[in-house]
Amino acid sequence: RGQVIATLHFGDNYFHEHKDEAIAAIFDAVRAAEPQVVVAGPAFNSGRYGVMCVEAGNAIANELAMPCVTAMHIENPGVDAYREFANAWMYCLPTAEATSGMSEAMTRLAHLTIRLAKGEKIGSAAQEGYIGRGIRHIEKTESRGAARAVEMLLRKIHGESYASELPLEVWDDAAPAPPLDRDLERRVHPER
């Protein structure tokens, strides 16, 4: 249902060391090929490559107003860059940590890319399975926000499943460092 019309490749070290030249080359290649959608990656858990995919995709989305799709593991540093840029033309799909998940990643990339090329409406991250960007859209609903909040609270109180309309960022718990050994510190640094 789709066709790859061009492939552009270069090292992530080159991209990060020569960003302006690399992005200019990407723009030239994309303008020459005239694709409907640009796919960058998948990056899996390769951090510098993930950041490159997001930065290149966002540059294309901003400059050429063209949809871009990438894919990477949720712990890839590129995901933070993706959320920071929060471009409505850019989508990032979650992948396995390693390239052993290539088949699934490529299948999901192809599916979303074809939908974007057709101009289909893409729903929320929760509906579609891409990584959320924090972009919120105003939607008209049947009930007021206060009524929906009370319904959610009642579901929570009764132990039923519920989903917040405004998800909060969840922070990892980190164990505190062990206390300093003051006697050791005095022996090493008696002047203190």
Residue-wise pLDDT for 21-57, tens only, equals 999 999 999 999 999 999 999 999 999 999 999 999 9
Pairing relationship of beta strands 38-44 and 90-94 according to DSSP bridges: unpaired
Closest CA to 135 of 83, 63, 72: 83
Residues 118-147 have pLDDT tens digits of 999 998 888 899 998 877 767 788 899 899
Q: For the segment 75-130, what is each residue's pLDDT rounded down to a tens digit? A: 999 999 998 887 788 999 999 999 999 999 999 999 999 999 999 999 888 889 99
- Residue-level pLDDT at 33: 95
8 A C-beta contact, residue 50 and residue 43: yes
Of 148, 149, 126, 147, nearest to 136 by C-alpha is 126
Location of structure tokens 């390693």: 98
Query: What would the pLDDT profile of 49-71 be if each residue is shown by its tens digit?
Result: 999 999 999 999 999 999 999 99
Beta bridge pairs of residue 71: 93
Beta strands (DSSP E) in 45-146 are 68-72, 90-94
Specify whether the CB–CB gap between 51 and 83 falls below 8 A: no
Q: For residues 68 and 61, what is the distance between their CA atoms, to the nearest angstrom?
A: 6
Kind and range of the H or E element at 130? none
The DSSP code for 38 is E
